[in-house]
Amino acid sequence: MSTSESRLREEIAEFGALLTSQGLAHGSTGNISARLDDGWLLTPTNSRLGRLDPARIAKLDADGRHVGGDPPSKEAFLHRCVYEMRGDAQAIVHLHSIHSVAVSCLTGIDADDVLPPLTAYYVMRVGKLPLIPYFPPGDERLAAAVRQVAARQPAVLLANHGPVVAGTSLDAAIGAIEELEATAKLYLLLQGHATRPLGGAEIAELEARYPRR
Ligand SMILES: [Zn+2]
């Protein structure tokens, strides 16, 4: 095993523990993957993100076949669809984090961009958040919808399910999904309150100053 693969395994376990300590990954929900030169790593099925053994994290080849470690998460197809469509994705995180899932269950939300640009950090780390309609887990229509939308945006929200976020590094993907969850919580806190999201000029200035990596 290469040094970079060993290091990525350690980092996935460390970030899994961090997400769990923040209350973002309850039970055995959530999965984390990272791209390798010859495939990708993915957290195992039925594993708790807070108690990962780096050596047992699943390894898949470039075609998504399981080639090492414990059996991969049943949601491997989500990661595979995003890696296929985003050559810049080095890591992907998917959570069933409560506030993001709550927003994904609301009616009347804008499916093109679910959350308003409430803060500068949300604009810088997430930007847009399209909603993918609900399909049962494993349904081919869900895979097709994820492929189509992930080609345009690194962060998507699955209706009645949760967010999937790709990053140009594991750190970037984790930072973006943390920001997404925090913004979902703010959005819910602000329901019923007159709110001023950032405006077009403010967003354009942020995008010019801090291009998303
Ligand atoms: Zn899921």
Those residues with Cβ within 8 angstroms of residue 5's Cβ, 6 or more apart along the chain or in another chain = 36, 41
Q: Residue 85 above 60 pLDDT?
A: yes
Q: What is the pLDDT of residues 89-104, one digit of tens each?
A: 999 999 999 999 999 9
Mean pLDDT in residue range 61-88: 95
CA of 162 to the centre of ligand 1 (A): 6
| Among 121, 122, 134, 187, the one annotated catalytic | 121
Q: Is 210 a catalytic residue?
A: no
- Give every strand in the sheet of 91-94, ordered side by side: 66-68, 58-61, 39-42, 31-36, 91-94, 162-167, 155-158, 131-132
CA distance 9 to 190: 38
> How far is the centre of ligand 1, averaged over its atoms, from the C-alpha of 193 (Å)?
31
Residue 191 sits at the vertex; the CA angle it makes with 189 and 197, to the nearest 5 degrees, is: 90
* Per-residue pLDDT at 213 exceeds 60: no
User: What are the tens digits of pLDDT across the range 141-166?
Assistant: 999 999 999 999 999 999 999 999 99
Ligand 1 centre from 51 Cα, in Å?
18
What is the number of residues in the chain?
213
Å from CA of 104 to ligand 1 middle? 12
